[in-house]
Each structure stands twice: as C-alpha cells, then as structure tokens.
Copies of this chain bind each other. A is one copy, B any other.
Amino acid sequence: MTNLVGDRSPISDSVGDYLKAIWTLGGGQPVSTSDLARQLGVSPPSVSGMLVKLNDSGLVDHERYHGATLTPGGTREALRLVRRHRLIELFLVNHLGYAWDEVHEEAEILEHAVSDQFVEHLDILLESPTHDPHGDPIPTADGALPETPDRRLTDTAAGARFRIFRLLAQDPVSLTELADLGLKPGVEVLMLETEEGDTLHLRLEDGEVSLSRELSNLIEGEPIG
C-alpha cells in the first residue's frame, strides 16, 4: 500500500491554492507578490514567505523582487487542481441541482478534499466532459487543455457584424445579474457592435436585451472588424 489515504494530494491545500493562483494570473508570465496576495486574500508578507518555500520545493521559480512562475512540476499540480475544480463544478450543476453561479466556492473547498478515485468516478459519471459550466476547458488527467472552440460566427439574418463573446466568470453577484438577463455560459450570445449611450445591445437565443456598460465589462473579446 503506497499511501494510507490511498491517493490524495502530496501538497497542502494552501500550496495548491498558491499554484492555482499563479497559473490563473500568470498565463506563463511572472506573477507579482501583491497580485497573488490580492487573489488569495492574504497579506503580501505571507506570499513572500510562501514563495520561498515553493521555490525551494521546486514547484515555483521565484527570484527576489521579480515575481513567480510555475515550474513544469508546479504547472502539473495546478492543472490537476483545475481539473478537479471544474469537474466538481460541472457535477454540482448537472447532478446536484446547483445553479451555475453557485458552485465556485463549494468546488474551491472540495477540490482539495476529494481523492483521485473520486475525480475519476466523476469523470466517468460526466462522460469525460471537456468544458465546465462556465465554459472553461477541463484539463485531462494527463494535463492537456482541451481547445475551447472558436465561437465566432458569420452572421445570419440582419447582415450586421457581430460575434459570440465569452463570459468572464469572476464576480458571483454580477454573474447573477447577467443570468437574470438570460445571459449565461453555454447560451449562444451575440453582441451587436451598436452602442447607444451607456448600453450595449445583445442578441440572445430569443430576442434582444440591453446591457449596462458596467456589466459589459464581464464579457471579453473584440467585435469583428
């Protein structure tokens, strides 16, 4: 028997959170101490201290005063957690009756608690999904990121130029507001180029809605030129 618990993570919850935050914020580029502190909700000195440990343990490359990047090993761990997180979110929505904007916090905790066996059972139950309820890709067990399909569309009826945008799922409160408009990940959403004052006009599956500029910041992408 390798591990009494069977097959649970060799790193602490906290370390996992750091790795995931560096992966999320960095995209390969160095991440600053203060950005990490903000993302993780801890003080900058706490981050400094942890980065020293992560550097020593070979999960992170960190040079004093010059930010942190993930090593290959650190990247592997981060993707392992992202996979867990996204599979759990999808499970909560598809099988446990959660709304898609309620699952993040639950997954944030459970991703550290479940065993590898649990994750693979989930993968089977969900039939090896490639994307989570927010539309984000689910890394495979060996750390590959599925392509997120290009959602650009050539238009149809009106002849207007527009494209499908992808929701940036960050702030639960605003996400709830968007959901109230019928705007949620997975739903086909076209954004017209036209703007009038402080609102954008969106074409959803059934009809159009308006969107305040503030909320429109939650949508990423550029209109087709």
A residues in contact (CB < 8 Å) with B: 1, 5-6, 8, 13, 92, 95-98, 102, 105-106, 109-110, 112-115, 117-118, 121-122, 124-125
Contact of A113 among B97, B98, B113, B125 (CB under 8 A): B113
On whether the beta carbons of B114 and A96 are closer than 8 Å, the reply is no
Contacts of A95 in B (CB 8 A): 95, 125
How far, in Å, is A171 (CB) from chain B's closest CB? 14
On whether the beta carbons of A117 and B106 are closer than 8 Å, the reply is yes
Contacts of A92 in B (CB 8 A): 118
How far, in Å, is A183 (CB) from chain B's closest CB? 24
Identify the closest chain B residue to A121 (Cβ).
Answer: B96
On whether the beta carbons of A97 and B109 are closer than 8 Å, the reply is no
Interchain CA distance A13-B114 in the complex, whole Å? 15
Interchain CA distance A110-B1 in the complex, whole Å? 11
> What is the oligomeric copy number?
2
Interchain CA distance A197-B5 in the complex, whole Å? 38
How far, in Å, is A94 (CB) from chain B's closest CB? 12
How far, in Å, is A38 (CB) from chain B's closest CB? 16
Question: Given contacts A97-B124, A105-B115, A109-B115, could you give 20 more A-B pairs where the C-beta distance is less than 8 Å?
Answer: A1-B109, A5-B105, A5-B109, A6-B105, A8-B109, A96-B121, A96-B125, A97-B121, A97-B125, A98-B121, A106-B114, A106-B115, A106-B117, A106-B118, A109-B113, A109-B114, A110-B110, A110-B113, A110-B114, A112-B113
Contacts of A8 in B (CB 8 A): 109
Interchain CA distance A13-B109 in the complex, whole Å? 13
Contacts of A97 in B (CB 8 A): 121, 124-125
How far, in Å, is A194 (CB) from chain B's closest CB? 37
On whether the beta carbons of A122 and B96 are closer than 8 Å, the reply is yes
How far, in Å, is A133 (CB) from chain B's closest CB? 15
Contacts of A98 in B (CB 8 A): 117, 121
How far, in Å, is A176 (CB) from chain B's closest CB? 13
Interchain CA distance A96-B120 in the complex, whole Å? 10
